[in-house]
Structure formats: structure tokens, C-alpha cells
Structure 1
Amino acid sequence: MTRVLYIEDDFNNRVLVKRVLMAEGFEVEEADNAIDGIEMAKSNPPDIILMDISMPEMDGVTATQQIRSLPGIADLPIVAVTANAMQGDKEAFLGAGCDGYISKPIDIDTFVDQVRQFLK
């Protein structure tokens, strides 16, 4: 079973993503902030991390950069899942170490296929 770690501060977004992925057979763990998400990734590495970009305390770009510096989990696929959809945002997230980008609000009809394409 594919394990997903979803790092997202918004409760409603976490519930939606978890329900959509679990309906397709994914196991989903959630962190409501980047600091806890990094610790969860270190202690029990998932198959993929879905990372919100705009979070208090530590944003998703900083969290991605920290994960990229950690032995053993530096190569995990990390996908930005964000409402930041201005021109140049996608390129900035990819340049910061994300493997991909999915804009919010998610399209529940295509979301699972989008996540699957980033799995190694």
C-alpha cells in the first residue's frame, strides 16, 4: 500500500485529500504543520509527501529544503499542493526542491492520477 504524508495546516483540505486518496487505496498520514511533518517523515518515511506551501511557523518551501538535506529521506518525492498559482510559482517550487506541483482547489477527478505520476 502506498503511504502518503500530507503536510497541510487547513483541516478541511486534509480531510478532503485524505478521503480522496483513501478511497483509492492509499494510506494517508497527516501533519498540521511543517515541523511535525518533517519529524514524521524522518521517523517513518512515506512513499510520497504532499506539501502545502503557505503554512504558519515554517512554510512548505523551507520544509522541503530541510527534508532535502536529511540523509535517508532526501530523495522522497515531494509535491507542492498549493493555492499559490501565480505565474512563476510552479517554477519557484520546483527550483526549491519540489518534484511537482498540484494547484488547489484540487480536482477530485484527476487528483489521484496526478499524485501517482510523481511516485518513483
Structure 2
Amino acid sequence: MNDAILTEQQVAQFCLDLPGAREDYKWGGVRVFSIAGSKMFALQNLRGSSLAFKVDQELFLGHVDRPGIAPAPYLARAHWIIMQTPYPLGAEELRALLQRSHQLVVGKLPKRAQVGLLL
């Protein structure tokens, strides 16, 4: 394994610390991290057993080829991946991917809505 592994709570706190992020609970047990009202960038099973988020389209196949990472059900067509706990990525890489997911979603917002959300 690479560097330290993040806990489910550390992942949740990192997501909430990103600009404009908020959380909701949906679908009978999914913690949804979103921006601009309803634009999701990460999903965490309430039991902490899985984490899903968006990745760059051109890197999607490379990610799902890695052990412990799979296409996210229902969201793979939008280039989302899913992993179970313990997360197969080190803390630094996982934070970078979550931040990138956030920025991919911000980039799809109207320009006026992006103010204050870009990193």
C-alpha cells in the first residue's frame, strides 16, 4: 500500500471542506456530497462500505483496471468509479482524486456559478 489510508470520516470531512460542498442523505443510506444545490461529486455508503466519485474520462479505464476499483453502478457512463473499504488508494492520491472530481463538476457549471468554487 502507498501512504496512509483515509478513514470514512476523514474522506467525508475532506469532501465537506472543498469549496461550496454540502451533504445530503438519499436513497436509504447514501451520503451524497454535492455543490451548487444538486451536482454530485462523491457518494459514500452510510455504513462506510463504499465510496464513489467522478474521474477524468480519459483516465476512467485506467482506474477501473486497478485492483479494488470498479465502474460505479448506474454512474459508470458518466465516468464514476467505486471502491470498497479499506480504500485501495493512499491518502494523498485519494484526496487528489476527490478534489479532481469536485473540480470536474464545478467545470460543468455556468461560469457565474463557478466563482468561489474553483481551486
| Shorter-chain TM band | 0.3 to 0.5
Bigger-Rg structure (1/2) = 2
The structure that is strand-richer by fraction is 2
Give the TM-score taking structure 2 as reference length.
0.37
Give the TM-score taking structure 1 as reference length.
0.37
